[in-house]
Amino acid sequence: METLTLSQVSPAPFSIVPKTGSDVIVAMLIEHGVDTVFGYTGASVMPLFDAIFRYNKRIIDAIRREIDDNPFVKNKLQELYMSKNDKNSVETIKKVGAQAIVDTLIEQGVETMFGYLGGVVLPLFDKLYEAPINFIIPRHEQGGCHMADAYARATGKVGVVIATSGPGSTNLVTGLATAMMDSVPIVALTGQVRTSLIGNDAFQEADTTGITRPITKHNMIIKNPDDLVPAIREAFYIAGTGRPGPVLIDIPVDMQLAECSIPPMDKIDMPGFKHHPGGHARQIDTAAKAVNESKKPVLYVGGGVIISGASEELRTLAQKANIPVTTTLMGLGSYDQNQPESLDMLGMHGSAYANYAVQHSDLLISVGARFDDRVTGHLPTFAPHAKIVHIDLDPANIGKNIHTDIPVVGDAKQVLAAIIDKVEYKPRKEWFETIATWKAKHPFTYDKNADIVKPQFVIEELYRQTKGDAIICTGVGQHQMWSAQFYKYSHPRQFITSGGLGTMGYGLPAAIGAQIANPGKLVIDIDGDSSFNMTLTELSTAVMYKLPIKVVLINNGYMGMVRQWQELFYGQRYSQSSLISPDFANLAKAFGCVGITVNKKDQVAGALQQMLAETQPCVVDFQVDAKENVWPMVPAGKSLHEMDGLDIFEIA
């Protein structure tokens, strides 16, 4: 005997129009107040069972359509879904593993997930069928992982991605490595062959935990069903606590089908995983004293400030103590670049005035940054006159690349708040006058009189038309650097890019993830033709979910940054760096997007205006100067102040 429950949600908003006798029977049952029926399926009653199924599915689909617009509906649906699993219960509950996974995801606050189904995750996907979770299916698992990554960057929440075993799991590798390098919290759930087959070269078997161990903050394989729920809870805790990062759980299919225990929620206490967010009081006093005594200080800010939510504390410190601020690529948006204290980005393709300021500073205060080689240039000559203060939550970062005079291990938000109370305002008139001279002499610029479409012009015009208020995602290459130089960022989580790993193909799936995280905001992927080629199939995903993302394609016909290095350091031998691409506008149309081609300078403004007015995915192919280079540039092995390209546009 089976019990079939007709949804107890009022049928009025979701009523069906009877088309068959079975539909009429269901409608009459509902009309007479029936909410539960008993019976057993068979051939002659299958149409009736199908009608009951379709009725319930229509209600669920209708509720799902209301979820994004009605938080009340979302909350009530989640309460209904979880009503049989009271998280405050003192008793251990037993459920099938796949159902336990879904319940625990909801318990952890998951509202949106990304992933691609396959054989050994079918039990999990079956339980997701009626779950109140917005599920996004990419066209490739790598794209799904990048979407979850960007969703996490855009919201500060933990992103969640699912993949099947074997090739599904290995397709996550690049996405996980990208998240690991940029400290992005992701929980990846991968399917695995049943435990009895592990190690036997079964169909679609791969050593997922072994493959991903170097590129995850933590990973584990489930071999006891009672470990499943605690493992998921710990995964979310590890991913989002301390320095964030990706965590992977490999779940054999028999663990999804087995009955498992769901212990009551309790505070997670992992003795081997502790961090100290407050910072040492004596070190904070020493850092504040150094700030007060310095004449030429510089705040050098990385992505840790954004992760910590410390942008307001950074602004307060910079303005109270009167300190100029430069950011890494990952730190863009942590400090409003329109403020006079801003030095924009430093490093290999950073501003000349930021690089000069660092090299002439007497105190460099690093907050949430790791002294990456693209920032420091030749290490022995980096900031040669400066005392180094390094504030970082991860003690492994302090002293790793450069000697630190005043280390402060702690969360950026808490440490900066403590320092603010101890610093004093200093005029530093001569220091800011010197910086102003550098700014006037060496601004970011290009040949603005050229007839050909310059990539910098496209991005400047985009900034003008969007008033600097768009969320910008990028791929990796020259377009990424121009996006950092010519679009000015004023708030955190506005610039989403692959910094540490430098993952080509990141931009488009990242824009999808960011748009899902921010449905009411303008999200733009500034991409290069070679980078875009790698994941452009995700346009299908954008169309399927009706996401109004925009793609500004900087198409120069090359792997642009590689071509620039070949020009400067390899005698202009352009080995394999020129690619033949499709007609991107027509390709976009084939996917169901709007496609526009621009090959003249006077078309740029109008094309951007049309793009911004579109309510569906739109790709604009800007065919730009193929030989344009990114300036300035600190060549590999050179000191930070030894920049090429300054003489090209030097302003007397």
**Mean predicted confidence (pLDDT) in 350-373:** 97
Instruction: Find out whether 287 and 364 touch, Cβ atoms under 8 Å.
Output: no
Coil, strand or helix: which one is 550?
strand
The Cα 627–Cα 452 span in angstroms is 11
Instruction: Give pLDDT, residue 1.
Output: 47
Residue pLDDT, tens place only, 600-618: 999 999 999 999 999 999 9
The Cα 492–Cα 123 span in angstroms is 39
Contacts 24+ apart (CB under 8 A), 396-403: 397/370, 400/370, 400/371, 401/370, 401/371, 401/372, 401/373, 401/376, 402/371, 402/376
Instruction: Give pLDDT, residue 14.
Output: 39
Instruction: Find out whether 458 and 271 touch, Cβ atoms under 8 Å.
Output: no
**Mean predicted confidence (pLDDT) in 631-645:** 95
Q: How far apart are the first and last CA of the chain?
A: 89
- Residue 234, number of CB atoms within 10 A of its CB: 18
Among left, alpha and beta (phi > 0; psi -120 to 50; other), residue 383 is left
**Mean predicted confidence (pLDDT) in 251-269:** 93
For the chain, which domains are there?
A: 2-67 (no CATH), 85-262 (3.40.50.970), 281-441 (3.40.50.1220), 455-623 (3.40.50.970)
Q: What is the rounded (10 degree) CA torsion for 78, 81, 87, 88?
A: 90
* Closest by CA position to 146, among listed 504, 600, 603: 504
How far is CA 567 from each of CA 120, 238, 573, 574, 577, rounded to the nearest angstrom?
49, 45, 7, 7, 11
Residue that wins the pLDDT comparison between 87 and 601:
601
Residue pLDDT, tens place only, 183-210: 999 999 999 999 999 999 999 999 999 9
Structure tokens that stand for 211 in this block: 């493959």
Backbone angles phi, psi at 161, to 5 degrees: -135, 145
Instruction: Give pLDDT, residue 17.
Output: 53
Residue that wins the pLDDT comparison between 90 and 55:
55
- Paired residues of 471 in beta bridges: 523
Instruction: Give pLDDT, residue 61.
Output: 59
Q: Is the pLDDT of residue 110 over 90?
A: yes
How far is CA 496 from each of CA 300, 363, 434, 538, 561, rounded to the nearest angstrom?
19, 29, 32, 17, 19
**Mean predicted confidence (pLDDT) in 79-90:** 53
Q: Is the pLDDT of residue 82 over 70?
A: no
* Closest by CA position to 487, among listed 516, 505, 464, 511: 464
Chain mean position to CA 476: 14
Q: Which residues contact 348 (CB under 8 A, 6 or more apart)?
A: 374, 375, 377, 633, 634
